[in-house]
Amino acid sequence: MPGNRWDLLAPHTGPPPLVGVVVCHYRQPAQLARTVAALQGQTLPPVSVVVADDGSPEPPDPAALAGPVPVRVVTQDDRGFRAAAARNRGAARADGEILVFLDADTVPGPGFLAAITARIAACPDVLAVGRRRHADLSGTAPGDDPAAAPQLPDPAWLADGYRRTRDLLDASGTDWQLVISAVLALHRGLFDDLGGFDERYVGYGGEDWDLAYRAWNNGALLVHEPAAVAWHDGPDWGGRPADHDTVGGGKDGERIRIAALVPDPGVRGAPLPGAVPDVLATVDADARGWELVEIVDAVLNQTHRDVRVRLPGGDPRLDELYRGVADPGPWSPDRLRRARARLHVHAPLPPDVLARAMDLLTGHDLGRVEIAGPDRRTLAALVSTRAAGRARRGRVDDAVAQHREGVATLLPRNVARAAARDAVRAAVALRRPDRPAGP
């Protein structure tokens, strides 16, 4: 499937999906009552509602929220703003194959669940975000229509982003920042594959963008569903009092946390290859001695500096030589989800080749870039995490008629100039989609 073309998905024709809803809550009893009442009246009723309480002094009473749909309450200690951990607890207790996340102060319209889950039911690799509108709901009783309340301005940055990307159809770069957890849904299988919300996010914000980045980076389709409307009680962040920015570190704290854990250069001001690198480089296990040193040095000397090297094990001299800048052990699952690419190196590389290969890989949404020497022998291969994740789960292509595959060969500059190819010869195999798949 080319890019983020969710419009190629075949409509879901099976039975309605089983939906579990997780509502994140902290000391908002009146708002929670409105939100749960709205969930009890959905056109697509959920099979369960779980209130994930982030340490309220008096946790919600499930009996007070009772209705046709069962309501559970899970709690955690109050150790600061820990929405990520609360949502994970709620997801673990929720029934259903599709998980929908709402905030306690966000009241869904009656067709919200049906709209936000429609494409997920068609393809389990979809992460969907609804349309969050804003109103003063202080005078709205549980069960009342939130659309009748005094409306407040919608955030321009979201509206502009969805308009620019055609509801994320043309998403690229850092457009995963248009996903917000107040109105978010995904299949439980995708949620588990991504590792859920990252509980290192403590303080307001960032955990939703982080999940959306990992989803995008691992090949999921991001979809904005404008018909999935929910009403937030009060203004967007930009319309709140100035001192609200101090909550949990505010927007500055959010940016710092994201830059530490998301290696996309669009959010980092400098390469930070220590804990969470952009590229994971693995050296050919057949290389030995000084040959291996030359290969590792060539990787460390790349102009694309956000790269971490993994050494073949068994040589303590190399462990000592590269202590702090290379790893002897396997990559952690977290690094594998977050790095945008993996580099498999067989020979020393020119210093600019990784930067050129990354531009080609990400700019054309390719699956693989092969780096060749003057004799056309393969020196290294750069593999997209996004393409690898999509292939590993194998669910997107089953839901569409046709898809795109891409492989490029990157040649040294002198060879490319001699061939008058302006530095890069890209062999991209295209099978253009022409129609959605049938039922």
Q: Which residues of the chain have pLDDT under 70?
A: 1, 237-250, 395-408, 410-439
Task: Please name the amino acid found at residue 85.
Answer: A
CA distances (Å), 383 to each of 222, 268, 360, in order? Answer: 21, 22, 11
Cβ-count burial of 94 within 10 angstroms (0-12 exposed, 13-18 middle, 19+ buried)?
Answer: buried
Domain covering 279-418, topology: Spore Coat Polysaccharide Biosynthesis Protein SpsA; Chain A (3.90.550)
| C-alpha angle 90-91-97 in degrees, rounded to nearest 5 | 145
Residue 314's pLDDT is 73
Residue 249's pLDDT is 55
Phi first, then psi, for residue 23 (nearest 5°) are -110, 115
Would you say how long the chain is, in residues?
Answer: 439
Q: Give the three-class secondary structure for 206.
A: coil
Sequence ranges of the chain with CATH classification 3.90.550.10 = 6-261, 279-418
* Per-residue pLDDT tens over the stretch 126-179: 999 999 999 999 999 999 999 999 999 999 999 999 999 999 999 988 999 999
* Per-residue pLDDT tens over the stretch 241-270: 444 444 455 677 888 899 999 999 989 888
Rounded distance between C-alpha atoms, residue 195 and residue 34, angstroms: 31
CA gyration radius, the chain: 24
Rounded distance between C-alpha atoms, residue 88 and residue 224, angstroms: 23
Rounded distance between C-alpha atoms, residue 384 and residue 387, angstroms: 5
How many CA atoms within 13 Å lie on the side-chain side of 149?
A: 24
Q: Which residues pair with 435 in a beta bridge?
A: none
| 6-261 CATH choice from 3.40.50.10440, 3.40.50.620, 3.20.20.150, 3.90.550.10 | 3.90.550.10
Angle between helix 207-217 and helix 250-261 axes, rounded to 10 deg: 30
Phi first, then psi, for residue 183 (nearest 5°) are -145, 70
Residue 312's pLDDT is 85
Take residue 13 and report the two structure tokens written for it.
Answer: 């024709």
